[in-house]
Amino acid sequence: MRLIYHPLSPYSRKVYVLAIELGLAHLITLDKVVVAPVPYPGWSDNNLYLSDAGNPLAKIPTLVVEDIEGGPLAIFDSKVICEYLIARAGTEVVEEIKSDRVRWQEKSIHAACDGMVDAEILCVYEERIRAEKGLLYQPWIDGQREKVTRGFDFLERMAKSGAIRTREAQQTISLAEVSAAVALRFFDTRKVEWRQVLCKHHWQQKIGNELQNRRYSQ
Ligand SMILES: N[C@@H](CCC(=O)N[C@@H](CS)C(=O)NCC(=O)O)C(=O)O
């Protein structure tokens, strides 16, 4: 496992301390980076590295698990990483957790959707409240929107790979699908365009319409 982290990041520290306590630290390679949501030489240069590793929010910590079926999987945010470490430490049959890609991917998609919404909410405050005080900082908005845009690409990849599915007759809708549909609804209210990316797979049309219009329109 590779932990993309920084020792001064409290969220990173939390997961690494937990790994030590669980006796898993020897399985972890530390990959130290600094990131930043606005252009800042030496820091924000690493944002793409994080997003290429599989975290569209470009935040640390991100745990890249190599020994899981289907190839390397980026697990985030820190709460999900902690859950994963606890599950891994408590699992006698390591093969079980190695085959459980769907579970950890779903939790990370949930975290990605929440992170995209968090980023957009920061834009709301910036554009409304801080702008009224003459404090609007455009690079901050641009940086948060980059997280959102990368998030759309991430959701598209998830839809393409089948990690987010259209809802067929009796299929239970997953937490990943609910969080994505609700996030997209929020981006509609914010007039942030995402259909160009996601409609390719008719994903929004089915899940989005069901969730947004039929059952939860109030
Ligand atoms: N909810 C996230 C928070 C992670 C977070 O905010 N990490 C900071 C460093 S401590 C970060 O990566 N900031 C960069 C950014 O916001 O773009 C978690 O629990 O992992």
With bands split at pLDDT 50, 70 and 90, how would you rate the model's confidence at 28? very high
| Whether the Cβ atoms of residue 1 and residue 66 lie closer than 8 Å to each other | yes
Mean pLDDT of the chain: 89
Q: Which amino acid is at 178?
A: V
Q: How far is the CA of 204 from the centre of ligand 1 (A)?
A: 28
Domains in the chain, start-ordered, CATH in brackets?
A: 2-98 (3.40.30.10), 101-215 (1.20.1050.10)
pLDDT in tens, 70-119: 999 999 999 999 999 999 998 766 677 777 999 999 999 999 999 999 99
> H or E segment at 146?
helix 138-161
Q: How far is the CA of 190 from the centre of ligand 1 (A)?
A: 23
In this model, does residue 23 exceed pLDDT 70? yes
Q: How far is the CA of 11 from the centre of ligand 1 (A)?
A: 7
* C-alpha torsion angle, residues 117, 143, 153, 6 (rounded to 10): -90
pLDDT in tens, 153-210: 999 889 888 888 765 544 677 899 889 888 988 998 999 988 776 655 556 666 666 5
By DSSP bridging, strand 73-75 and strand 62-65 are antiparallel
Pocket test for ligand 1, best of 4, 11, 16 (most atoms within 8 A of CB): 11
Which residues form the pocket of ligand 1, taking CB atoms under 6 Å from any ligand atom? 9-11, 35, 37, 58-61, 77-79
In 3D, which of 16, 10, 1, 128 has the Cα closest to residue 59?
A: 10
